[in-house]
Each structure stands twice: as structure tokens, then as C-alpha cells.
Chains A and B, each alone.
Chain A
Amino acid sequence: MTAILSHGISRRAFLTASAALGGGLLLGFPLSGQAASQGVASDLNAFIRVGADNTVTLVLPYVEMGQGAYTSQVQLLAEELELDPARVLYEAAPPDEGRYASPLFGGQITGGSGSLRGAWRTLRAAGAAAREMLVTAAAQRWSVSSESCRVENGQIIHASGRTLTYGEVAAEAALLPVPDAPVVKQRSNYRVVGQSLRRLDTPAKIDGTAKFGIDARPPGVQYAVVASCPVLGGKMKSVDTSAALMMPGVKQVVRLERAVAVVATNTWAAWKGLEVLNMEWDAGANASLTTQQMVDAADAALGRSGIVSTVVGDVDQTEMTATDRYEAVVRLPLLAHAAMEPLNCTVDLRPDRCEVWVGSQVVGRAQKAAADAAGLPLERVAIHNLFLGGGFGRRLETDYVTQAVQVARHVSGPVKVTWSREEDIRQEVFRYHNHSRVTVALGDGGAPASWRHKVVGPNIMSRFLPVYQKDGVDLDVVNAASGPYDIPNILIEYSRNEAPEGLHTGNWRGVGPTRNVFIVESVVDDLAHRAGRDPVEYRRAMMNSADTARPRAALELAVQHAGWDETLPARHGRGAAVFSGFDSHVGMVAEVAVDINGRVSVQKVICAIDAGYVVNPDIVRAQIEGGIIFGLSAVLYGQVTIAGGQVEQSNFDTYPVLRMREAPRIEVHIIDSDEEPGGVGEPGTAGAIAAVANAVFAATGFRALTLPLNPSDLRGV
């Protein structure tokens, strides 16, 4: 066995042999289909509770939003505890920014393709520590050495054949000191980890019993709907409630600073009330805001000098001496997340406590937001985090929690606030306009002698995760800005450009790499074309160092499965993309057909991924498949536009997303690896956008440097 604890995480942060979880309010919340453990239970640490009745309950720090986090977390803990995953109970971790912090982000965050990467570091050690404590307790009971005992299927077995269940020694184990250096299992002994264990959340999600945030129905709940000022950042001026209050089922109208809520006996009645509200808004500073103004502002930021974040070699000198130079400006649009479950939050606010039912990627922040809005201390706020009907970065925000508590302050008893789809799209925390200029001095064979990339975008990390900045640079916005290539001279520069106040910007599936992979891979593809070279061969030539071995292997595998050299009919094309991101390495090839009207049909997408050691191969495949589909929606359709300060899109009719008839065949090839696990939730999205745009170039000769693809650019003759 190998010792672990080499990751620099505070041991105390996650291994505490305390007997009480939460304290005061009951903050834990059993998931659907999971019976709470009966009788006395002992906490062996923050993640493992063993009942006297031998039930083992795992407390999972990463929320389930579709990415399979519950299943893979249970796999890791069950493996170290030598338990059958089918016989453990599990529940969502309560809010606690310390105990349940991701070691990647330093806070209780599920995002950034970080669940498995974080769990890999903390949960194996937690499981091993608990196992050692259980063994020690049994050994002490028997007055034998720990070394003469082993664990198997939830029992401690002595060499003599005597056995004790975990439950029988749990109380004693909980009193033992936490091992300084718990020894995790060797991978060669894994039974559960590394297997495509079926998802634990499937049964509840196919028979209607799974509870999402929107399904919370505390006794006596009333139903509220909201309308915020349609001009982003505007405020409520006046509202005439008389007609609404006469509508059947409508109970009250709540006026907030920037929104109005109608509370009724059911959601529909509340909407009918909202329809007849006579509202006047103070539009504020954004009354005449347009998309063009924001695009112009981002272009202007391209003209300003920014902060240099990466310097390799001497780009200035290389550019001066180069005989040929390439330059491209790439522009990315405003995007909505459009998760299937519209935002919602249910709140039961009492004078001395607040109970919240929600689906959040940031449970601790949700608690803080609710506490602040309620004017209560943190420990008086309980969060029941239910399944998330999609996250994609939108549920990293807590605006909808704050708003629901604000509504609840005016309502007697519990109230569920549900956003309409229109509200969900119009009151987004948007992926903002990111513009880039890439300047390349060309060397031998048209290869980049230098790479200068100026990235323009908001500094989201300054608000969202300040530790993820360095010297004024948002480290996400410049992530993957030069690709996985051996380029001798690199200069990455960041020019900050914030959205107008009132238009909120945030994280969107794939974050920095989703933007930069498209930018980098479009430029590289264009350079290959200018040099008259095959796009894959061109990339290969820049990937010869040890640092580029993993992405290169991924590219080679994708290309091999894609039949890269096979000829295609007219107006069909293949496009490649390769990148490293989220500690994973990805090669992708998309094949498209473009009809004479410029309509793009993605025929197939082949992805090869080196995600390090893989805990659950089928979940990795599912994440890549889903990430690709998410990327296809963006490259083909994704665009939010603003006129008069208002979002022009409102629902799936005006903000289309990919449907089944447009879904290509997808192949995911996983590369065997013993490296540390990489993230898999976002790479599919990043790769798909780039590969499809390159395939469209191959099919039509049109190089899209502005997204989404515009059919009028792609028409045939």
C-alpha cells in the first residue's frame, strides 16, 4: 500500500473523529431511496458514519448534477472501506466550507470538472483512515495486533477467524486518534474502483421518485413566480396589484427592489396573477444597451494593453525578424446555460431559523446567501441540497437563493419560488463576450515561431474565486490560451473587459478552455491551411516534446478511429482539435455535412481522452458524450442578444439547443493511464466547438472566427 497525504491538504480539514455532525439543526438530508441509519451512529470522519446496526452512511461532498459524482464518490469510499457499494447509504454533505471544501478550489464547490479530482485526493484517505480506525478498535477489543486483522465486506477478521462487524466497533473506533498517514489501497487490489459501476441515481430518476430542488413540497408550501426588471439591472418603480389579487388562487404580491413576486395556491395561478400585474420599471443605465455596444467595447479592449500572464522566449524579437505574420481576431457571443430544470428555491423562514430546499453547486455559499438575506447566523440556516436538474455553471451562483429568501420574508409559511423558462434565460448569469487576437510569426514550413494571444473578457474569478487569480489575471480566462504545443516563444496577455453593471457574468460549461480551445484550434487549423499542410500533420509537428506526449497520443487515437484520410463527398468535412485541460488530454475529430443552404449537420464525433486513471469508465464516456452535445448546441445555435437592455431570447424557440434528430454518432475512446485522474465534465464541450468549426472549414472553405456558425456564411452554389 502507498502512503497518501502528499497533496498538501490540511488533514484536519477532512479527518475529524467527532461524534456530532452539524449540531443544533439537523443539517444532513437523506436522499430519496435511502433510509436513514437507525439507532446510534458514530462519525469516523466528515464523510463516514457507521451505525451500531452496521449501516454505513457516506456523506458526499460533491453534488449530483448529472455528472455521476454520487456514484464515483461512493466507489472511492466503498473501495477503501471494503464494502459493497450496494449496501452503503449515502447523503449529500451539509453546508460546511471547511469540512467539505474541494482541495482544488478551497471551498465547497462542485464544478470545474473537479469532483472526481477532488474526491480522489480526500475520499480515499478518509476511507483508509476510517478502515484503520475500525481495525484498531477491533484489534484492541481482541487484544491482538492490527497487523493480524484484515477487513472484508464490512467486517474485521482476525487471523484466528474471529469477526466483528463495523457496527460493533464503530463507537470505539470513533474515539481513536485519526491516523496520521492512512494507507490507501493499491490500484491492483481495486474491486469497485475502475469498474463501470451502474449509476446509483438511475432507479430514482426513471420512476419519478428522484427529488430535484423544484420538487420540494414542505407542508403548507405556497407557490411563487417572479418577474425581474426586463432591462438588466433595472429596478421596480411601481406595481398595481389590484387585478392580480382578484385572480383565483392568488394570495399576495411581494415587491422586491428589482423584481416582483406573485404568491398563490399553485404555480399556474401565480403566473396568471403575474400576467395581469401592472408593472412600471426604472430601467436604469442599461435602457439603451445593445449587443453591438458590448461587442465594440470588447474590441476596444483588444486595442488596450493588458497584463502579461505568460512569457516564454522573446515574442517581440521573433515578430520583428519574421518574414511572414498571421493575425486573427476571434469573437465569442453571450451565452445562457438553459439547464432543463428552471431555477427555483423553496424557503421556510421563521423568526429564528431558515430552511432551504434547492439544487446548488455551492451548498456553503447557498447557506451564506440565505443567511445574509434572512438576517440570521449561518448555523440557523439549513440547506437541503436535492438533485440538480443540470448545473453547467449556472447553479454556481446564489442569486436565486437570495431572491427566494427575500420573497419568503414577506410570506407566512414555506414558499417555493419558480422561475419561468423566460425568466431563466433573461435573468441569466451569462457567459460573456470574449474576444481574442492571436498573432503568429511564421517560421519554417509555416509553423509558429511565436504565439501572441491577447484575451479579452471579464475577470470572473475576482468575484467568484479570488484565489484563482495571479497579479490581476483571471487564471481561467487565459487557461489553454496557447494550446498543447511546443512553440518556442509565447506571450499571453489579458485585457480585462467587464460587462455593463447589471448584466451578470459567470462560469459556463468548459470555462476558459471552452473559449480558448476554439480560438487556438481555429488559428492552428487556419495556419495549417495557409501552409498547405494537413491539419493533423501540422499539429503533430508541434507535439514532439515529452510535455506534449499525452495530448498527441489522444489526437493520434482520435484520428485513427475517425478514418482521417478517407475521402468524403462534397460539402462534407472533417475537423480536428487537440488540447489539455482539467488535467485531461483530448483529441477529437468531427465530421460534418453542410447543405447548400448552409445548414450544418454533424455526422459523427470521435473523441479520445487520456483522463488519467479512470474510476468509472462508463461515466467518463457519458460525460464526454454529453459535453460534446452541449458544445454542438453552442457552435450551431448558442447566442444571446441584447436590445434596449433586454434579452431578446426567451425560451427554446428563440434559444434553440440540440435535439435528438441533430445528435451525431459519438465514439469515446479512453486511453489507459495510471496518472492522477483528470476532469471529464467539460473537455467534451471545449473540443466539440473547435472540431466542428474546423470540419465546417474543411467542408466549405469558410473559417468561422465568430460564433455561432451562421448559415448565410456557409451557403453553397
Chain B
Amino acid sequence: MLYNLQVNGAVHQADVDGGTPVLWVLRDILGLTGTKFGCGIAMCGACTVHVDGEARRSCVTPIDFVGGAEIRTIETLGEGKVGSALQQAWRELDVVQCGYCQPGQLMSAAALLAANVQPTDADIDAVMSGNICRCGTYGRIRAGIKRAAQILASAGEVAK
């Protein structure tokens, strides 16, 4: 059936079965390949997107489920304050290696920071342990999230 989807601030149409996960609509129908397939069972987090601001594993989120909700993907992460702070931190600390899991890591991290501006190690571990990285960038991801929090805090200070 035909779905009208809100993706990254624009309306897109997709004619697919209602059970089709958002992941495959994004990748195969809309050509937004930044969101990655890793496991298909919400075990690795590579497919993480935001649905109305909340982190969701798009590989197990049927298109029928999202309705008119706003989907955000890695392609527009940098448009938000939190996203651009994370990207800056990722560049400063050279977090990535192969980079395949990083869109999912960044989307999970962005949702975390949006809800918790100064996460502790335990907060970070709790949220980010759903995202697997086989290259082993965990230490740098943790440091990157803290650095992004710092960037956001100092931007907040300037704004005051």
C-alpha cells in the first residue's frame, strides 16, 4: 500500500507492504543508505533512527507503525545542535574506524544527549550498549559523547 512518510523534514511516498521495516524503506525505496543493516533483530543498533525524537531500531519498526511520525536519519543529524556537537566531537577524537556502525551510534548518542545533557559513564553505557561496534571504538564513543556534552554546555553558556 502507499505510505506518506515524514523523513528528514520532507514527505516521501513508498508503495510497500505495511510490515516492511522502516530500514528497508529508507535504504531501498528512498535511497537513504546512511542508515545501516546489521542484524535485523534489534541486537546491534546499526539501523537506529529517530521517530518523533526517540531512538528506534528501524530494522524492526514496521512502516505501518510510524504513521505520520517524523523520521530523522543520519543524513540530517548535523542540522540539530546536538547532532552537530556530536559530529564535531567525533571529528576531534577520530572516533570512527570502518564507520559502518557509526550512523547508528550517533543516532543513539543524539537521543541520549537530547534527554540527558550531562550523562555519566553509567548513563552512556546503559543507552549505548545496544549498539555494537566490531572495530572496538567504544572508548572513543564514550569520550565523544562527553565531549559533545561539553560542547553543548559551553554553547549554552555563550547563549546565556
Q: Which A residues lie at the B interface, using CB under 8 A?
A: 64-68, 196, 198-199, 201-212, 214-215, 217, 223, 248-249, 265-269, 272, 338-342, 387-392, 418, 420-421, 618-619, 622, 625-630, 633, 651-653, 657-663, 665-666
Contacts and interface: CB of A to CB of B under 8 A. Distances in A.
A249 B106 CA distance: 32
B20 A652 contact: no
B133 to A, nearest CB: 7
A390 B134 contact: yes
B67 to A, nearest CB: 19
Contacts of A663: 136, 138-139, 142
Contacts of B139: 625, 663, 665-666
Contacts of B20: 266, 268-269
A249 B17 contact: yes
27 contacts: A65-B98, A202-B90, A203-B91, A205-B102, A207-B78, A208-B34, A208-B74, A212-B99, A248-B17, A265-B28, A267-B24, A340-B132, A388-B98, A389-B100, A420-B40, A421-B40, A626-B136, A629-B133, A630-B134, A633-B134, A651-B40, A651-B43, A652-B43, A660-B125, A660-B138, A660-B142, A666-B139
B65 to A, nearest CB: 14
Contact of B132 (A66, A208, A269, A652): A652
Contacts of B97: 66-68, 622, 626
Contacts of A223: 28
B103 A208 contact: yes
A652 B44 contact: yes
A622 B125 contact: no
Contacts of B19: 268, 272
Given A266-B28, A269-B17, A630 B136 contact: yes
Contact of A652 (B33, B39, B142): B39
Given A208-B75, A211-B33, A212-B100, A660 B134 contact: no
A268 B26 CA distance: 11
Interface string B35-49: 111111101101000
Nearest to B128: A660
A653 B43 contact: yes
B31 interface: yes
Nearest to B92: A198
Size bin of chain B's contact surface? 35 or more
Contacts of A622: 94, 97, 137, 140
Interface string B1-37: 0000000000000001101110111011101111111
Interface in B99-157: 99-103, 106, 124-126, 128-142
B91 A340 contact: no
Contact of A206 (B25, B87, B124, B135): B87
Which of B37, B87, B128 has the most C-beta atoms of chain A within 10 angstroms of its own C-beta?
Answer: B37
A615 to B, nearest CB: 15
A392 B128 contact: no
B101 A209 contact: no
Given A66-B97, A340-B38, A418-B37, A207 B44 contact: no
B137 A202 contact: no
A269 B29 CA distance: 12
A568 B24 CA distance: 50
B44 A340 contact: yes
Contacts of B136: 625-630, 658, 663
Interface string B68-108: 00000111011000000011001100111111111100100
B94 to A, nearest CB: 5
Given A66-B99, A67-B97, A207-B75, A660 B141 contact: yes
Nearest to A626: B136
Given A66-B135, A340-B100, A651-B39, 17 more contacts: A202-B96, A206-B86, A206-B87, A206-B103, A212-B99, A214-B36, A217-B31, A339-B100, A392-B134, A421-B38, A421-B39, A657-B134, A658-B136, A659-B138, A660-B129, A661-B126, A663-B142
Contacts of A390: 98, 100, 134-135
A202 B98 CA distance: 9
Given A249-B17, A388-B98, A207 B74 contact: yes
Nearest to B138: A663
Given A267-B28, A390-B134, A198 B94 contact: yes
Nearest to A388: B98
B28 to A, nearest CB: 4
Contacts of B133: 340, 629, 660
Nearest to B137: A626
Nearest to A389: B100
| A-B interface, 8 closest residue pairs, ranked by CB to CB distance from nearest | A208-B34, A629-B136, A66-B98, A389-B100, A205-B99, A66-B97, A626-B136, A208-B74
